[in-house]
Amino acid sequence: MIPQPFDYYAPATLREALAMIASGEHKILAGGMSLVPLMKLRLALPEHVVDLGRIPELNYIAESGGVLRIGAMSTHHDIESSAAVRAHCPLLAEAAGHIGDAQVRNMGTIGGSIAHADPSADYPAALLALETKIRIVSANSDRTIDAAEFFVDAFTTALEPGEIVLELQAPVEDQGEGYCYEKVPHPASGFAVVGVAVRVKKAGGKIAMARIGITGMGPRPFRDSMAEKMLESGTEIGQATQSIGQGEEANSDLYASGDYRRHLARVHAARALRTALTRAS
């Protein structure tokens, strides 16, 4: 189908873009992997579209002061192939490599992906496990929040009208950390039926630190602090992962029931943890 007529704007600076969207009546175009299909199906009917693709201030990857900063318009391919990301936050690079296909990774952006907040997206699990912060700006504000606060519900984030994601701030991973992103892809869409991102540190042959992010299982991504604490207290992986998703809502659809998604989360969390431990030194 063909989208309904709309006005298209391509600002050259961040300041210009924020002034345009200050009213909250403009739709933001990042990579277009979600918005364009919705417009073609006429599920989204924006009258004004602001394209952020020509703003160099939004496209960068840099490390400073122990923090990896990633501009919102960095593509999935940029993140997957970046030497800085692979060196300082390899979990994020691994998650980026699981997104869609090569064409999607060349066009889709991390800012657009997390702002869309698809409950089956890959990035959120890694962002939660990495304890990432997200910087959000508007024409009149500049605030930074934890990724755990950013994802509110299915397709719902903490973004207010007139705000956009400026950058993501991920603490640099220690050299001795192990990491892994495990995913069960939907055979048609490639989205995560369930995705699990983990980070671990070892000390004295035991898990001294564990971080577990889950996506796809429910309407929003979540960090499983119960399983993390069990692992850090010496509980075996198989036993600790049986608590994954406890108390969390699980989605059911024609492809997978909520119970099956919860089962997948537990199985793949155990696999991801074992892989991460083999990578930890």
User: Could you read off the pLDDT of 213-252 as tens digits, one per residue?
Assistant: 999 999 999 999 999 999 999 999 999 999 999 999 999 9
Which CATH code fits 1-51+59-173?
Answer: 3.30.465.10
Nearest to 192 by CA among 123, 244, 267, 248: 123
Task: Compute φ and ψ for 168, nearest 5 degrees.
Answer: -110, 140
1-51+59-173 and 178-279: identical CATH topology: no
Residue 21 to residues 51, 184, 214: CA-CA distances in angstroms? Answer: 11, 37, 32
3-state secondary structure of 90: helix
d(CA 217, CA 200): 22
Mean pLDDT of the chain: 95
What are the residue boundaries of the structural domains of the chain, listed by start? 1-51+59-173, 178-279
What percentage of the chain carries pLDDT values higher than 70? 100
Long-range interactions of 203-208: CB distance < 8 A, separation 24+ = 206/234, 207/231, 207/232, 207/234, 207/277, 208/232
pLDDT at residue 24 is higher than 80: no
Q: Does CATH place domain 178-279 in 3.30.390.50?
A: yes
Tokens 């991801």 -> residue:
272
The neighbour count for residue 268, using CB atoms within 10 Å, is: 25
User: Could you read off the pLDDT of 96-113 as tens digits, one per residue?
Assistant: 999 999 999 999 999 999
Task: Compute φ and ψ for 133, nearest 5 degrees.
Answer: -110, 150
Asked if 12 and 55 touch (Cβ cutoff 8 Å), the reply is: yes
- Residue 204 confidence (pLDDT): 86
pLDDT at residue 174 is higher than 90: no
